Structure 1
């Protein structure tokens, strides 16, 4: 649960959006009129070290120490797409080792109809016992750290009373959690301490929060902070016993980053001075590139390219078991496809593949492609482009459908995606080699 190996249990077919990529197929036949010549083999790999968490961060109060006192509140903002959930943890300050957190996999962020959840979500928050300290009667007089359990117990929900018989109100009576949708896949959560005047008055400690990837609607890491019925781990004890969020934050940050499959790869061998399917600074030509950039479907574009003068070979290359090229997961290598090409002097090679967890980004060869007779690693000839047909959102936390009052459709020129960009900094993802 607390390592990236959780991803391994996700079905490969769930790692992309339904109907998005499964229709692509390979065209292994040379096109009429192509000349038999030297052979070159192209390989395309997804070399991304995939991470399970889209975003993570911390929150705290404003005093010294920075606890959230009764009557006070804190807010933090994040991005999330359909199927994703928000998890967080903060200490019940006047206890020995209790903490507040949503029940796994976290707070639901979207309704069944795809609209964002807004308003009071306090009912999804629970009170948990970390299992490492014997609980005293909660209140200002609790001594910290207190008496350690002889044998540490598992994390368990506190349902009215703890193991020592101390009574607690429901978490939703002590903490109010309110979601606000800010547009373009953005949310703000406000946590309010409303425990004042109750039998369970308490400050809340600095905390951590995180959002996990959910390609295909299946959350990759459903238990990023704790697992009910299992021992505490990864620094949660520091929060539950001392209100120290630094250790768990460091752990979560190590699990946070980029995760994306690549769509089946379009490979074109052609002659001439111009890339046959796009030009930076021009708008999408309506020939099928938008289908590739938005849905990972290269079939329409492949069909059109076969009719173009100078185009000699067109292929759509799929990974054997998963169709898409998955990123590296733990010790599992990323997806890879290969194709032998028949090329002549003066031929060029162009490729394109969708950045899967985006609205309309695609990787493609720069300018007029690659010299087809070249050998070696040519990854420096690949760049990431924005197709300009869908509004950009946080990659991996994006909404793919129009919501009431918000249309994603646009018509802008194709342009390179800067790195770092407005959302994140991207590591190396695509490796292309000519053998």
Structure 2
């Protein structure tokens, strides 16, 4: 490599500290022309939960089921009213039921000690039973655990004796089925349980977004949980969490290629992955294998990688060398997926300027089985193991409630 090329790369590295830039074939282009900058901004609005829903009421001796997707580190939280009370409810301890062990193995079967019995603190407790008068006498209390007796001295068995929780897991779909059984009929405190509300927290950088989804121990309850705890009314709490539920993602590294000719060197829609390294980018955010392969393609004039993660609100960007009659292509991993990536859907003049988000598409590489975005245990974000498939590259469809591309990413060239 000539000395002037090394200086150009060094200047780029200093100008854009934290980003990686690798150019190919600089010596073949002694008059580089202009130097546009491309920015890929993560436009995702952070949501507390990746999924949420309601649970049916369950009478003594009966069961109900509901299903949800999750990956390692995510938790299940739900709450339901102890109906023969003034304001008691059952729920796990914050942040919810642990669904996987440290090795990523799902918990299945009966979950021992999954639940606790809680006093919402908004009504004076009468003796539990079918004769409880609702709504009862108001009080200004806080959410506390009922551990054997409530604040008025009424006795209760452990929550695990009143309700049993069991889990089944479909590894391909990363789908849990939760069965709730009302076992209170075998105790002195037989009670129906109201309908309930459940959530699965989103994860950012390995941390739960919502660590106290419904309540905080020893603090006042919200009006939404109060409606559930006092009246078995799920609507206010469900409406609250539904508005905080949605798919989010990172931009998990990117590649930019300046090229000649009419063929996008990164991918071809409707054709299978060319095995040049795109799958490494789409599955685990690693652009280096694709850069290495494209460095041997004569039409690929310059190649740049951004081997970093852009969280919601953050950007990946680089400045590239381009000349007239050259085109530019880019790809960035949809980080909360099994093998999805953003790319330009049409050819882009390398010297174009402006917002090109409308020309950006979200694609499925077809090399890994899809799971619910941000809740699939085989996904890279959960250190999962890929389940391979062999399909053509296609535009991501509507199997999952993925936001529109413009709500996920903004691509600008300036």
Using structure 2 for the length normalisation, give the TM-score. 0.89
- 1:388 to partner: Cα distance: 1.4
- 1:272 to partner: Cα distance: 0.8
Q: Which runs of 5+ in 1 are unaligned?
A: 1-22, 62-67, 328-333
Is 2:124 the counterpart of 1:134? yes
Q: Aligned to 1:187, which of 176, 187, 204?
A: 176
Q: Verify the 8 A CA contact 1:177 1:191 in the aligned structure 2.
A: yes
Partner residue, 1:220:
209
Distance in 1 between residues matched to 2:122 and 2:336, nearest whole Å: 40
Q: Verify the 8 A CA contact 1:24 1:298 in the aligned structure 2.
A: no
Q: Secondary structure at the residue paired with 1:324?
A: strand
- 1:28 to partner: Cα distance: 6.3
- 1:387 to partner: Cα distance: 1.2
Is 2:410 the counterpart of 1:431? yes
Change (3 A) 1:407 1:262: closer
Q: Aligned to 2:320, which of 335, 341, 364?
A: 341
Q: Verify the 8 A CA contact 1:52 1:259 in the aligned structure 2.
A: no
- 1:234 to partner: Cα distance: 5.2
Partner residue, 1:54:
50
Partner residue, 1:394:
372
Is 2:29 the counterpart of 1:39? no
Q: Which runs of 5+ in 2 are unaligned?
A: 1-17
Q: Aligned to 1:297, which of 279, 286, 295?
A: 286
Is 2:196 the counterpart of 1:207? yes
- 1:41 to partner: Cα distance: 2.3
Partner residue, 1:255:
244
- 1:399 to partner: Cα distance: 1.6
- 1:115 to partner: Cα distance: 2.1
The within-5 A match list for 1:357-368 is 357-367=336-346
Q: Verify the 8 A CA contact 1:84 1:217 in the aligned structure 2.
A: no
- 1:309 to partner: Cα distance: 0.8
Partner residue, 1:147:
137
Cα distance per residue 1:151-199 (max 9 Å; x no partner):
x222111100011111000011111111111342011111111112522
Distance in 1 between residues matched to 2:389 and 2:196, nearest whole Å: 39
What is the RMSD of the two structures over their aligned residues, measured on CA atoms?
A: 2.0
Distance in 1 between residues matched to 2:352 and 2:276, nearest whole Å: 29
Distance in 2 between residues matched to 1:29 and 1:317, nearest whole Å: 15
Is 2:83 the counterpart of 1:93? yes
Using structure 1 for the length normalisation, give the TM-score. 0.85
- 1:375 to partner: Cα distance: 2.0
Q: Secondary structure at the residue paired with 2:160?
A: helix
The within-5 A match list for 1:273-288 is 273-288=262-277
Distance in 1 between residues matched to 2:26 and 2:228, nearest whole Å: 63
Is 2:290 the counterpart of 1:326? no
Distance in 1 between residues matched to 2:26 and 2:47, nearest whole Å: 40
Q: Verify the 8 A CA contact 2:337 2:379 in the aligned structure 1.
A: no
Q: Verify the 8 A CA contact 2:75 2:200 in the aligned structure 1.
A: yes
Q: Verify the 8 A CA contact 2:338 2:379 in the aligned structure 1.
A: no
Q: Verify the 8 A CA contact 1:389 1:411 in the aligned structure 2.
A: yes
Q: Secondary structure at the residue paired with 1:250?
A: helix
Partner residue, 2:14:
none
Q: Secondary structure at the residue paired with 1:137?
A: coil
Partner residue, 1:16:
none
Q: Aligned to 1:374, which of 342, 349, 352?
A: 352
Partner residue, 2:158:
170
Deviates more, 1:92-101 or 1:192-201: 192-201
Partner residue, 2:113:
123
Deviates more, 1:309-318 or 1:24-33: 24-33
Deviates more, 1:202-211 or 1:304-313: 304-313
Distance in 2 between residues matched to 1:71 and 1:372, nearest whole Å: 68
Is 2:306 the counterpart of 1:317? yes
- 1:26 to partner: Cα distance: 2.8
Partner residue, 2:6:
none
Distance in 2 between residues matched to 1:239 and 1:355, nearest whole Å: 37
Q: Verify the 8 A CA contact 2:256 2:304 in the aligned structure 1.
A: yes
Q: Verify the 8 A CA contact 2:107 2:167 in the aligned structure 1.
A: yes
Distance in 2 between residues matched to 1:89 and 1:134, nearest whole Å: 20
Distance in 2 between residues matched to 1:241 and 1:311, nearest whole Å: 66
